[in-house]
Amino acid sequence: MRVAAFIYGIVCYLVFFATFLYAIGFVGNIFVPISVDAGNPPPSTGAALLINLILLSIFALQHSIMARPAFKRWWTRIIPKSIERSTYVLLSSLALILIFSLWRPMPAVIWNVDGAAGQYVLWALFALGWLTVMVGTSLISHFDLFGLSQVYTNLRGDEYKAPKFRTPFLYNLVRHPIMLGFIIAFWATPRMTAGHLLFAAVTTAYILVAIRFEEHDLSQAHPEAYAEYRKRVSMILPIPKIR
């Protein structure tokens, strides 16, 4: 069973990593057959809006509900604790794949930057956003975040211990650099269509709501440390706090 759980964790991670790479192409309209602005034939604007909102809602519900401690306590009565995180990662990836597969473009142009300098700046911000996401996950233990540490520890027959609360590098600028990276990547585009705007706006709204739940959970897990951290570091914008 331990070997099977380890293999399962590896597969879940590989599905996540492929999905993450596709997400870059999907949002940037590069290298992929179906993107935020191309692929599936667009239906009427109303139908496209409804379909896209349903897809985004499925991801938001899955991502939020399964992340809550109360759900995890119930869920690990059904599945082994060692694969709980891997399963969460897998189902989140499948929810994203559903979006990528069924998304309907909404081609009306909101803005279009024609100048080369402006395009370079926006593409640089796009790349910076995704780089911030990857660096942010690495700083707080990438392999724990995506379930590999849990299945590896289980394979060795050891007891898994969650990483200690710490705030390295980017986490001394903002409390949620990963989410900031996603927001930058979703909005930085030389050509903003109605579909892209819908994707960016809804995901940003979801991120801001999800952060509140995450902060509540972190405050419960690390009451004193996180209270001090909140006083010292801004939530999402790198604005120094006056103490």
Decide: 55 and 47 in contact? Cβ < 8 Å.
no
**What mean pLDDT is predicted for residues 117-126?**
97
Tens-digit pLDDT profile for residues 79-102: 999 999 999 999 999 999 999 999
Tokens 């926006």 label which residue?
Answer: 122
Banded pLDDT at 243 (limits 50, 70, 90)? low
Q: Where are the domains of the chain?
A: 2-232
Tokens 């379909």 label which residue?
Answer: 51
Task: Indicate the burial class of 153 (C-beta count within 10 angstroms; 0-12, 13-18, 19 or more).
Answer: middle
List, in sequence order, every residue forming a beta bridge with 38; answer none if it has no partner.
Answer: 35
pLDDT value for 163: 85
Tens-digit pLDDT profile for residues 149-164: 999 999 999 989 888 8
Banded pLDDT at 183 (limits 50, 70, 90)? very high
The pLDDT of residue 68 is above 80:
yes
Which of 219, 232, 198, 158 lies closest to 42, judged by CA?
Answer: 198
What pTM, to 2 d.p., does this model score? Answer: 0.94
Tens-digit pLDDT profile for residues 29-66: 999 999 999 998 888 999 999 999 999 999 999 999 99
pLDDT value for 141: 86
**What mean pLDDT is predicted for residues 122-143?**
95
**What mean pLDDT is predicted for residues 100-125?**
97
Tokens for 93, please give them: 């990836």
Mean pLDDT over each residue of the chain, to the nearest integer: 95
Decide: 170 and 177 in contact? Cβ < 8 Å.
yes
Banded pLDDT at 242 (limits 50, 70, 90)? low
In DSSP notation, 13-76 reads: HHHHHHHHHHHHHHHHT-S-SSBTTBSSPP--HHHHHHHHHHHHHHHHHHHHHTTSHHHHHHHT
Q: Which residue has the higher pLDDT, 43 or 190?
A: 190
List, in sequence order, every residue forming a beta bridge with 35; answer none if it has no partner.
Answer: 38
**What mean pLDDT is predicted for residues 108-137?**
97
Q: Which amino acid is at 204?
A: T
